[in-house]
Amino acid sequence: MNIDFDIPTIIEGYSKGYFLMTDDGEDNLGWYSSNQRTLIPLDERFRYPKSLRRVINQERFSVAINQDFQGVCDGCANRETTWISPELKQIYLALNKAGWAYSFETWQDDKLAGGILGLAIGGVFIGESMFFNIPDGSKVAMVKLVEHLRKREYTVFDAQLQNPHLERFGSYVIKSSHYKALLRKGLKLNCHFDIYPSA
């Protein structure tokens, strides 16, 4: 299904529980949904390996928001099989300029180490994709993003589809009906993603 390049329509689609993907690797965007949804917990169920805790304590990476949104989009799309088409990247860029899409990044000195691409709507963060250039870059970004969402009082971190990498952080699957109920409540909140605070 082709979609119109219209920011309010796109936000409405995500607010109803749909998400955008390129169909089977072709340059043809459509709305998708699932009878299940994967969430990253924002409570005590969130977890990560002790080895990653050591990396975080060593403070190898700094954190930023939207310092290189284009770079995060490119990094997320730069893989053998990707659902992020050039058209979808342009949509993400437009959503970023309109204040809906964000890149949550880790940096090592002046190099982009990793990042997470997502949309922030009300009290809901919808994670679209993640990548790394430097080992542990995206993992640290995940931990720091959860901390950030907690501080900003977000209630939903939607990861869309389950995979073994997300399971290491305590991700869990719920039915679509449950997800939509959480989504409706989260959208009523007035959370602000804002800029990551300086250390």
Q: Residue 5: which pLDDT band, with cuts at 50, 70 and 90?
A: low
Residue 119's domain is classified under what CATH number?
3.40.630.70
> Quick check: is 195 in a domain?
no
Decide: helix, strand or coil at residue 7: helix
118: containing domain: 7-187
Q: How many helical (H) and strand (E) elements, i.e. helices and strands, does the chain have?
A: 7, 9
Please, where are the H alpha helices in the chain? Answer: 7-15, 50-57, 69-77, 86-97, 137-151, 164-167, 176-187
Please, where are the H alpha helices in 78-125? Answer: 86-97
The whole-angstrom separation of Cα 104 and Cα 114 is 9
Over residues 111-150, the pLDDT tens digits come to 999 999 999 999 999 999 999 999 999 999 999 999 999 9
DSSP state of 196: P
Domain count, the chain: 1
> Quick check: is 33 in a domain?
yes
- The predicted model gives 98-122 an average pLDDT of 97
Over residues 33-69, the pLDDT tens digits come to 889 999 999 999 999 989 999 999 999 999 999 999 9
> Quick check: is 198 in a domain?
no
Q: In the prediction, which pLDDT does 27 show?
A: 63
